[in-house]
Structure 1
């Protein structure tokens, strides 16, 4: 039986999170170790870790913005981030490739949405590849538009979820 725990990230999680990120994402789309360290340091309450039996198996990280511009590459380094802003921007939803297919992404997203609601946030924005659009729609996200971002040389699609706030 799996023993799941959720928690905010701490500085010592950065190396494991980078390892997962760099094996789960293609090419240049993975965040660097420095970006992950910055995200943990600047907005730990938006960096949700999922552990199974004490081992990190996945995470979601984010920042908050008053005005969301999904194609803003600087925001990935939390330039323009404001913890009190009502709009959450997810930068990574990632599960260790060895642990995929077990429903961890859905567990992470449910917990993340719950936490953002508890913080009084009004919306959650994310970009995903076309193949993930139906998954996020099932989780309650609405399709917005194809993104002008070509992050990592990939085509992206913008999605948004309105929260209870």
Structure 2
């Protein structure tokens, strides 16, 4: 089945939050207010995936100046800078019923393509150890353990050069 992509809209918030809560622990998940702020602050780098007219996944990638994201990005949504060299992936999530269909990888490819069109240097994210192989398969390289303490977890910095 084909996947279409579009910028996140405020009307997408209920579907986004359902997927967010299915994919992340309560400590890791963004609040509804935080997610609404992200949609408002950087809709051009908040991409939703749709299958048969239904929102089935999303990736949130605000533009930042640094190679690695910092925990304050999870709390404060500021408009994208046109000159920031990196897109920082704060969330990549796919509805559980469509896992294994390549939607997460397709969202990463869509954000990579957008980053190239915007002349960004790369994509950056933090992930749990269990997800390092997934991101490696999608062109990311590990920069080792992150300084992030988000949700009390151990995170790993991953970067994909564009």
**Do the two structures share a fold, i.e. TM-score over 0.5?**
yes
Q: Match for residue 116 of structure 2?
A: 117
Q: Match for residue 57 of structure 2?
A: 58
Q: How does 1:1-165 map to 2 (within 5 A)?
A: 2-70=1-69, 72-79=70-77, 82-84=80-82, 85-163=84-162
Moved more, 72-81 or 46-55: 72-81
Report how far residue 86 of structure 1 moved: 1.7
**Unaligned runs of at least 5 residues, structure 2:** none
**Unaligned runs of at least 5 residues, structure 1:** none
TM value normalised by structure 1: 0.91
What do residues 31-80 of structure 1 show as CA deviations (whole Å, max 9, x unaligned)? 1111111111010011000000010000000211123452x322123456
TM value normalised by structure 2: 0.92
Q: Supply the distance in 2 between the matched residues of 1:50 and 1:31 (Cα, whole angstroms).
A: 19
Residue correspondences, number: 161
Q: Supply the distance in 2 between the matched residues of 1:54 and 1:149 (Cα, whole angstroms).
A: 36
Contact 2:37–2:77 at 8 Å: present in 1 too?
no
Contact 2:89–2:123 at 8 Å: present in 1 too?
yes
